[in-house]
Chain A
Amino acid sequence: MTTQSTTAQPYLVVEDLKVRFTTEDGVVRAVDGVSFELPRGRTLGIVGESGSGKSVTSMAVMGLHARGKRTEIAGKILVNGKNIVTMTDEETRKMRGNDMAMVFQDPLSALHPFYTIGRQITTAYKVHHPRASKEDARKRAIEMLDRVGIPEPHRRVDQYPHEFSGGMRQRAMIAMALVNNPALLIADEPTTALDVTVQAQILDLLTDLQKEFNSAIIMITHDLGVISQIADEVLVMYAGRVAEHGSIEQVMRSAQHPYAWGLLESIPSLHGDPEEDLKPIKGNPPSLINVPSGCAFHPRCPYRMMNPGPCDLEVPQLLAISQPGHSVACHLPEDRRVAIYTNEVSEVGVAQ
């Protein structure tokens, strides 16, 4: 707390992050050159189909990948100016839960079934406050449970995870993640296992907490509907790469990547009538062991340009477009993309 950074360095800077796993079947290129920045007080949504490298990216930021011959991490991850990629395990451990914290998808399996909620929160507190007394830690746990909206926190602190409902469990998980006031919170599909009303409550809670603690939040989801409710900017990931990056307005109202269009058209929560006009993206996400050549999306892209390329030959660069802060990785010329979006995509009634 001695040196308060005065430069406008964002709290989190990820630069050309690459994560590869060597497996029996081959090398999994899970993240392949992802870059983004996130200052405190802002929320970045990372969206993409399952298997696009979202969780691997967030685990890398948390320094949670087991290091060894099988896992190769390259690039830079600066948290508060310190590079997670080159740090020792012990150094990242001290930051985990303190500078950055994580909330997981399924709070039932993410909480230890044999320990009470209170014990798990106090454990999280005491790791980084070794001199705190038992009573102080417990007080802190109750205070956090109260803060995340759990009724009767004095009683519930002594209950086990299985005695909580899904939504309450996720609140407890958030309490646990925030117990040390981390500046960065990563939420990996925190609402996927919950029903829609509870989902909205949890998103509201996160928004409130962000205002209060001025934290940076990464919200990972495969649902653009969730992103639109909470994020300031959006990173669209496909096959371990960034397809499109822009503010929430830019991506929701003038998306420029064919994959982002596909996502927009396949999201039920954005349509008035869930039965109508739902167009799931054809085909399956690629295996990250055999990523398609050129633009990884080309086998599924209705607008691909081939014979003689370039979509199957050259990897498209993530390039800034005329709107500041908006960048896209696609070989289509910008005017073409704007035309297609205006004529074909926005008609579906996505962005009213």
Chain B
Amino acid sequence: MLRFIIKRVLAALLTLVAIDVITFVMFFAIPSSPAEANCGKNCTPETIARVNHYLGVDRPFMVQFAEFNRGIFLGRDVDGGRVLNGKPVIDHCHIPCLGYSFKTQEQVTDVIGRALPVTTSIVIGAAVLWLVTGVGLGVYSALHRGKFGDKFAIGVSLVGTSMPVYFFALLLLSIFVFSTGLLPYPQYTSIATNPAKWALALILPWIALTFVQAAGYARYSRSQMLETLSEDYIRTARAIGLPARTVHLRHALRAAITPVITLFGLDLGAFLGGVAITETIFGMHGMGWASVQAASDLNLPVIMATVLIASVFVVIMNVIVDVLYAFIDPRVKLS
């Protein structure tokens, strides 16, 4: 098992290095001059050159790449060419240094530090909700196949999967905020500052994501459960005299939920990188929102950071899912 995990982690690290290189190449290849874009009215060639030097984009590719990665792991000092009281000013970009935002000149790490908790708050909360409701609904449907409850659940989840999240999000806003005023317009508050306000602001984004995601999970767990219920080992479980509840909730669910958990891990990895539409509609300044902003500003360091972090989440969740699967399913060959 340990060997399997180590192998899996090494493979993941390799993937991350590849992503790092590809992202860097991609953005290096984009012809844009952020210095010109942000240089303002009294722009002289000297200012542009100075800004370029400060940003480091005037150096060769390999140097920049090495610098960038050294920054992530060791931090780095940046000589902006500024002089104060006759001495050059050196800024220290702390670990994990992802460079400086072209737009606000602050460290990208700080930008991410603000955005990441917002996204994780939205996504982890919603994920728990959609997993529980989705699987619950799916299992209920499967056990009441063809009856009213099943048909109703299928109908609701059909609406859920065919409704775009922005539509449902706007619907929620107009019902709960604009028409009835039952809830204030969401405003993110850190959970450490005020847990009640934190939850209050997150209710609507949670509901929006849960509805759309739970629908898919309900359908998937329903079909997995139905498939499992027709397995021979379920017939065996009944043949030894186990009560129906135990057959369904222990023997059937155990097998049916495994692929659902896999899907859940992968979804979680993808969502933690940012849920741009939901964040934007509910005015939440999370990773998705930050990357949309950065893209429209051609704010390369921030774009790179969001892409890298999103990839890290995807890769990490992949490893977790693989290892978990090996624990759940004894048939998985650990080689």
Contacts and interface: CB of A to CB of B under 8 A. Distances in A.
Nearest to A92: B241
Interface string A251-292: 000000000000000000000000000000000000000000
B233 A109 contact: yes
Interface stretch (B54-62, B313-321, B325-333): B325-333
B236 interface: yes
Q: Output the residue of A102, A110, A160 with the most chain B CB within 10 A.
A: A110
A131 to B, nearest CB: 16
A123 B231 CA distance: 18
A18 to B, nearest CB: 22
Contacts of A176: 236, 240
A233 B258 CA distance: 46
Contacts of A127: 240-242
Given A127-B241, A127-B242, A114 B254 contact: yes
Contact of A113 (B242, B244, B255): B255
Contact of B239 (A62, A89, A106, A162): A62
Contacts of B255: 112-114
A170 to B, nearest CB: 13
A106 B236 CA distance: 11
Contacts of A124: 240-241
Contacts of B254: 112, 114
A111 B233 contact: yes
A94 B232 contact: no
Given A113-B255, A162-B330, A106 B232 contact: yes
Contact of A98 (B231, B233, B241, B331): B241
How many of chain A's residues touch chain B, expressed as a range?
20 to 34
Interface string A34-73: 0000000000000000000000000000101000000000
Interface string A107-126: 00111111000000001100
A240 interface: no
A97 B331 contact: no
A104 interface: yes
A110 B241 contact: no
A118 to B, nearest CB: 13
Interface string B296-335: 0000000000000000000000000000000011110000
Q: Output the residue of A94, A95, A97, A111 with the most chain B CB within 10 A.
A: A97
Interface in A10-32: none
Contact of A101 (B232, B235, B239, B242): B239
A64 B239 contact: yes
B241 A128 contact: yes
Nearest to B243: A93
B233 A110 contact: yes
Interface in B222-281: 231-233, 235-244, 251, 254-255, 258
A59 B32 CA distance: 74
A110 B238 contact: no
B239 A109 contact: no
Contacts of A162: 330-331
Contact of B331 (A101, A106, A160, A173): A160
A298 interface: no
A196 B48 CA distance: 85
Given A112-B255, A113-B329, A162-B331, A95 B241 contact: yes
Nearest to A121: B240
A121 to B, nearest CB: 9
A171 interface: no
Contacts of A173: 236
Nearest to B331: A162
Contacts of A160: 330-331
B250 to A, nearest CB: 9
A96 interface: yes
A106 B232 CA distance: 8
Contacts of A112: 233, 236-237, 251, 254-255
B262 to A, nearest CB: 14
Nearest to A62: B239
A97 B328 CA distance: 28
20 contacts: A97-B240, A97-B241, A104-B232, A104-B239, A106-B232, A109-B233, A110-B232, A110-B233, A110-B236, A112-B236, A112-B251, A113-B233, A113-B330, A113-B331, A114-B254, A114-B255, A114-B258, A160-B331, A173-B236, A176-B240
Q: Which 9 A-B pairs have the closest CB atoms?
A: A97-B241, A97-B240, A96-B241, A124-B240, A109-B232, A110-B232, A112-B233, A160-B330, A102-B239
Given A93-B242, A127-B240, A173-B236, 12 more contacts: A89-B244, A96-B239, A96-B241, A97-B241, A98-B241, A106-B232, A110-B233, A123-B240, A162-B330, A162-B331, A176-B240, A177-B240
Interface of A: 62, 64, 89, 93-98, 101-102, 104, 106, 109-114, 123-124, 127-128, 160, 162, 173, 176-177
